[in-house]
Amino acid sequence: MLWNWASKTKLLAYPSGHLDNIFQTKIMPFTDDSKIVTSAGDGQVRLGLLREDGKVDTTVLGKHRGCVYKLAVEPGSPHILYSCGEDGFIHHYDLRSSSATRLFSCSSLEGNNKHPPKKIRLNSIVIDSRNPCYFAVGGSDEYARVYDIRTCQWDASEDSDRPVSTFCPQHLIESYDVHITALAYSSSSELLVSYNDELIYLFEKNASEDLKNHQEAQVYSGHRNAQTIKGVNFFGPNDEYVLSGSDCGHIFIWKKKGAELVRLMVGDQHVVNQLEPHPHIPILATCGIENNVKIWAPLASDIPPLPVNVKEITEANRKSREDRSRVTLTPDLIMHVLRLQRRQTLAYVERRYNRADNVNSEDAEGSALGLSDGDASSEEDYGGNSRDCNIS
């Protein structure tokens, strides 16, 4: 679905061709908004071509085994993009050709533990806008890896899995119970890393020759990232702020420098998953479990105070995270759970053709125009259908 967010009107909806949840949509730059790339739980990366008559033709660009949560478009390029998948592979696409290039499969770093290298299920990929030759990926272990596209072999060779740098907080090295859900690059090449049921860390640009970078990172805390694959992002004309959703349904906004929590807003009745800032003006789009997308804009120069219950919210998130960390899982048990998860995923994919539409009609439609921390308005305020995704 494509929306005019200012007027809250839906401009276009078209069948994507995907067989499962769509996780990301990207409009290719300098294509007059006519080329739309999507990725989904069916492992496909698809291209939609908007015709002059308003219809959309879709084709498959490439396919992973498992979900594809994120795409990365080369800044300013109408042709080049990347995808990463749960199969551990990174694909490179040039829309001027008819096929994808499988670059390499991402594996655990040799020597970082006593176990042999294993495939890393990838959740996120981002490109450094200051130097598009570099891209970073993160997934089912503790390391964010940075690669140089100029050193890749372009033949899916294991020799190409050679990151030029890796980032990890010192205390998370050789941790078996953490993984990365999201990454973001700032305009000054800082790398933001969000961990599942852990915290968010900001790493400065790494110009050293050392592969492993254990520099002390800026830490952002108070939220909880456990239930879903949550995003993380920068906000502001010079990336002065850091954004994250939370399992408590709030949007957290910290000052990048010093990590002071400056805003805490109710963004969803359940969980806030993704946050996308407008590239040029102070407008923010968020989404979560509810069937809507919310648009936020500052309405005053005065900074409103944090909610009176901010300490209770952050303390509840901290306690939930620490309670979970006390549960000790052996490597054998972890592998057993992962095997069961894999079987469940494969069974789910096989059933997707006859899957019933089980959208929870009881989810309320929310509305929040403005950086407020009040409760979201109900569906009846807009007369909407709970089975539609609304801009509010």
Q: Is it the case that residue 36 has pLDDT exceeding 60? A: yes
pLDDT of residue 369: 36
Distances (CA, A) of 317 to 221, 225, 236, 312, 320: 9, 9, 26, 9, 5
Backbone angles phi, psi at 331, to 5 degrees: -55, -40
- pTM, rounded to two decimals: 0.80
pLDDT of residue 333: 58
| Partners of residue 287 on adjacent β-strands | 274, 293
Distances (CA, A) of 49 to 95, 97, 311: 11, 15, 49
* Between residues 348 and 372, the one the model is more confident about: 348
| Partners of residue 218 on adjacent β-strands | 202
Output the average pLDDT for the chain. Answer: 83
pLDDT of residue 124: 96
Q: Is it the case that residue 368 has pLDDT exceeding 50? A: no
DSSP three-state, residue 389: coil
pLDDT of residue 153: 72
Give the closest residue to 66 by CA, choosing from 83, 53, 52, 82. 83
pLDDT of residue 389: 53
| CA angle, residues 245, 250, 253, in degrees to nearest 5 | 65
pLDDT of residue 264: 94
Note the Cα 186 to chain centre separation in Å.
15
Selection from 174-183, 193-202, 292-301 with the highest mean pLDDT: 193-202
pLDDT of residue 157: 59
* Between residues 195 and 341, the one the model is more confident about: 195
Average pLDDT over every residue of 195-209? 80
Q: For 305-355, give the DSSP string.
A: PPPTTHHHHHHHHHHHHHHHHTS---HHHHHHHHHHHHHHHHHHHHHGGG-
pLDDT of residue 201: 97
Lowest mean pLDDT among 53-57, 105-109, 130-134, 337-341: 337-341
Label the pairing between strands 284-288 and 292-296: antiparallel
Tell me the helix, strand and coil percentages in the chain, rounded to 5: 15, 35, 55
Distances (CA, A) of 33 to 184, 308, 358: 24, 44, 32
The one-letter amino acid code at 144 reads A
As a dihedral over the C-alpha atoms of residue 59, residue 341, residue 89, residue 219, rounded to 10 degrees, the angle is 110
pLDDT of residue 391: 53
Q: How far apart are CA 287 and CA 295, in angstroms?
A: 9
pLDDT of residue 216: 81
Average pLDDT over every residue of 145-158? 79
pLDDT of residue 386: 40
pLDDT of residue 320: 87
Note whether 181 and 199 are within 8 A (CB). Answer: no
Distances (CA, A) of 162 to 60, 89, 180: 29, 13, 19
pLDDT of residue 113: 54
Q: How far apart are CA 192 and CA 385, in angstroms?
A: 37
pLDDT of residue 345: 65
The DSSP symbol for 212 reads: E
Helices (H) and strands (E) in the chain — how many of each? 2, 27
Q: For 2-51, give the DSSP string.
A: EEETTTTEEEE------SS-EEEEEEPTTSTT-EEEEEETTSEEEEEEE-
Read off the pLDDT band of 249 (50, 70, 90).
very high
Average pLDDT over every residue of 229-253? 94
pLDDT over 90, % of the chain: 61
Q: How far apart are CA 24 and CA 42, in angstroms?
A: 12
Tens-digit pLDDT profile for residues 309-347: 999 999 999 998 887 765 555 555 555 666 676 667 666
Note whether 174 and 112 are within 8 A (CB). Answer: yes
Note whether 105 and 86 are within 8 A (CB). Answer: no
Read off the pLDDT band of 350 (50, 70, 90).
low
pLDDT of residue 347: 66
